[in-house]
Amino acid sequence: MAPRSDVPAVPPLYFYDDATARTFEPFALTRPVSELRAGAELIRRRWERVTGSSAAGFVSAAHLADFDEPDAPNAATGAIPAGSIVVNARAVVALDASAADGDVWTCDGRVAAVRLARDLSVERLADGSLSLDALATELSLSGRAALPGRWVHEVWDFIGQLDAQLKDDIPVLARTIDRIQIGAVVVGNGEVYIERGASIEQPYVVFDVSAGPILVRAGATVQSFARLTGPCYVGEGCTILGGPVSGCSIGDVSKIRGEISTSIVLGHTNKGHEGFVGHSYLGRWVNLGAGTTTSNLKNTYGTVALWTPDGVRDSGLQFLGTLFGDHVKTGIGLRLTTGTVLGAGANVYDSMPPKVVAPFAWGGGEPYGVYAVDKFLDVCERAMARRHVELGERGRAQLRAAERVAADGRAAGRYAPNGKGA
């Protein structure tokens, strides 16, 4: 049988946030899960690398319809065409995997992606309840191939899996860089990979690779009196201003000073001052005031509980700090307890916040006020312009939609610190 003429030779990728992914607060309010960093790379870019295809869209909650970031695809509408590959966004495929020809790709025994045998209405995926396992069965797809990788079952898995993920990712990414030699101090027998175009102020930078490798990408600067401990990834355009940086994935165009450990920085984020941040996830456009400090270990040494949309749950992790949603701002000297969730757009200062702060909250303690959305958007525009990024009309519309969802959640008591609310 001749191949269908309407099936693309290079299949486009569509990323699907299932019902579990849509609970990954505080991030799911403002971005699809495929645009989160897992280890050293965005989930979307991992799949683009493995398949050789480009992302054509994503399917997630309705309030993300206008999600707009440079390089990211738009929300899918209408029908996803036959021949496209639909990916579960929670599947963190290994960067050195190879997606051979097939119709179904599994990861750790579960279906991670399927190639559509016919057009699929986006409405079938609208509420997140359809599993790709069920879709593969429905379409009678065969030709299965297993891909190495991990699943993100809970939002805290991004932190719990970070060390192992970075150890896997960095050597693979380093294979394709134009590597240069440097004269900085290196401790241990591991590898330091410095991409051409990075700037390392020698000899007052120390790279400790005793526990894992380090990769510094082009355009990044590591200033004097910084100590980087592997496994550690420093993305393009980042500036490490000094202090110990250990076991972290630092996303593009971020500024980091002071002690930060076992944390993910999505990108375009500013931690330009002293203050400890540990076992935390910082969304995009976060700005931490001087001295902002997280706790990442309870004084009982027990496991850390975390607020989720399904109530407060035990993460099973002994070390867990703060999840900072996109556009969060903190004041000078703010202290954050273990397992804190700061909702997207929150601006908090003065007293220690509770374990969960609602999105778009404003103030120095409970009861928090609400950040007026027009003022919030004006601040976003100014902050983004400083990094030469424009907040367009679609981006504004998406953030307004997120604020409306947050307002409904506040009214329903969704962000109650000790439970699910109404």
Q: Which pLDDT score, from 0 to 100, does residue 182 have?
A: 87
Q: Is 142 within 8 Å of 300 (Cβ atoms)?
A: no
Cα 256–Cα 162–Cα 69 angle in degrees, nearest 5: 60
Alpha-carbon distance 17 to 154, whole Å? Answer: 13
pLDDT (tens digit per residue) in 60-104:
999 999 999 999 999 999 999 999 999 999 999 999 998 878 899
Q: Is the pLDDT of residue 175 over 90?
A: yes
3-state secondary structure of 77: coil
The b-or-e profile of 150-175 (16+ CB within 10 A means b, else e) is: bbbebbbbbbbbbbebbbbbbbbbbe
Is the pLDDT confidence value at 221 over 50?
A: yes
Q: How many CA atoms lie within 13 A of 123 on its CB side?
A: 2
**Average pLDDT over the chain, rounded to whole?**
95
CA-closest candidate to residue 31, choices 58, 57, 64: 64
* pLDDT over 70 at 306, yes or no: yes
pLDDT digits (tens, 9 = 90+) for 368-391: 999 999 999 999 999 999 999 999
> Under DSSP, is residue 192 helix (H, G, I), strand (E, B) or coil?
strand
Q: Give the pLDDT confidence of 308-365 residue by residue, as tens digits.
A: 999 999 999 999 999 999 999 999 999 999 999 999 999 999 989 999 999 999 999 9
pLDDT of 5 = 44
The answer to whether the beta carbons of residues 391 and 381 sit under 8 Å apart is yes
Extended beta strands in 345-386, E state? 347-348, 356-357, 361-363, 369-370
Report whether pLDDT(8) > 70: no
**Has residue 9 got a pLDDT over 70?**
no
Report the C-alpha gap between 241 and 273 in whole angstroms: 9
Check residue 84 and give its pLDDT: 97
Q: Answer whether residue 166 shows pLDDT above 90.
A: yes
- 3.50.50.60, 2.160.10.10, 3.30.160.40, 3.40.50.300: which CATH number matches 158-411? 2.160.10.10
